[in-house]
Structure 1
């Protein structure tokens, strides 16, 4: 992977991480197009640049993470996130190898992209009259954990962590906007745990090296790691603001149609054209 390819992948991560269109799918398709999808550093890079996207949420919602009206509100906020992230940590560890195997095949990911798009076409109508929670403070720990289990659906690449957790939030009677924001908040501990595991604990099969060893292997790798996180951070800030505006005005249908069109194109491309 060269610097240009790293910047493109980082832009895609920043654009798609918090949108219901699967950042993993888009990065896999991009790296496959570049012909670098089998490289261990590329696999690490695609996960590690999530750190930049994490910082984007913390910066945009810094009052939620750092400035609380009372200590009780702060403890309650972090308690909900702590319990909600447990299902993803446990199931992610159990199924890590199986997920890794799927990442190499773009065909099932394209199919999941299409199926998820069909679901998004009907989400707004299905949950239209079921909203009772419009503030994050009113989300109970039980509801947060339930949303955490919904988030686990995204372990299948192409599903979208954002889409799964937002739909889970709406199923738990959160408003569309509140579900989206809680999805952003839940992404922080989820993605931070995945990033730390990939960088410090995971041994990559081909190179038999830890993530941090791959990063420190060369100055080029260090530079691409830093540039990737900076680019993902900047683009994610813009994408989050854009996404909130779109769902408030148009709902999830535009993203559903996007997934269907993109998934169909990629299915045809990887089945017949490549």
Structure 2
């Protein structure tokens, strides 16, 4: 196995492990390229292109939810309409800011120090939310959320445009602060990933897709990373929902703080 293939597998594992956990998949991919000596620019498009693998895992695991919503739209079922409405409302702020500040956001992706600080600050933010928030105890489902709750969660998601913040962490913690139960908060974050990450992937491939294959990282490596991230994400999502429904998010907060501090120390001393 050559180095390029091994790198594709390792980055696929990192993407699948971290995309839906509140630890920042983008941040981990950036730190992985730094720590393991990969050329970050060479793998930048690859890191974006394999995200649909993790997204597909959500579709597979929650296919019944999406199918019911799709069919329900034809009969204008209130629950299906509310489900789709909430996702679209929460998705809108990321579209607006992403199109307005896309170049500035891409510049941050080159800064591993920003990632380290974001991991640390985000870890303490999660601890604060866990201590002060009062989430609901009954699983209500995404369709039961109000327009205001959906819009606010969407606004909070925009914080994840800073690498290391974590899209899933921002949306889940935002939902908990609004009184949403842990399971619904996690599921809303998963479902919101579909339009958000798909849109980001399409935009980045449209802008930088002509570079695929030019630096030795082509469609075969992307396909491999896609499959690896899909398989890993399948296992992670189910385990994550079961865990946080019972135990909460504090372990992820402490993990962020430790990894962020270690990364910051290493980046400073190297």
- If the length of structure 2 is used for normalisation, what is the TM-score? 0.91
Counting matched residue pairs gives 263
The partner residue of 1:21 within 20, 23, 29 is: 23
Give the conservation status (yes or no) of the 8 Å contact 1:121–1:256: yes
The answer for unaligned runs of 5 or more in structure 1 is 203-209
Residue aligning to 2:166: 160
Give the conservation status (yes or no) of the 8 Å contact 2:134–2:176: no
Q: Residues 87 and 220 from structure 1, CA distance in 2 versus in 1: closer, same or farther, beyond 3 angstroms?
A: closer
Deviation at 1:75, TM superposition (A): 2.9
The partner residue of 2:88 within 74, 82, 90 is: 82
Give the conservation status (yes or no) of the 8 Å contact 1:28–1:37: no
Residue aligning to 2:240: 243
Q: 1:1-274 to 2 correspondence within 5 Å?
A: 2-40=4-42, 42-68=43-69, 70-71=72-73, 72=77, 73-128=79-134, 134-200=140-206, 202=207, 210-211=208-209, 213-215=210-212, 217=214, 221-272=218-269, 274=270
Deviation at 1:245, TM superposition (A): 2.0
Rounded Cα–Cα distance in structure 2 between residues aligned with 1:171 and 1:61? 25
**2:218 match: secondary structure:** helix
RMSD: 1.9
Q: Residues 219 and 36 from structure 1, CA distance in 2 versus in 1: closer, same or farther, beyond 3 angstroms?
A: closer
Deviation at 1:18, TM superposition (A): 0.3
Rounded Cα–Cα distance in structure 1 between residues aligned with 2:119 and 2:213? 34
- If the length of structure 1 is used for normalisation, what is the TM-score? 0.90
Rounded Cα–Cα distance in structure 2 between residues aligned with 1:129 and 1:166? 11
Q: Which moved more, 1:67-76 or 1:241-250?
A: 67-76
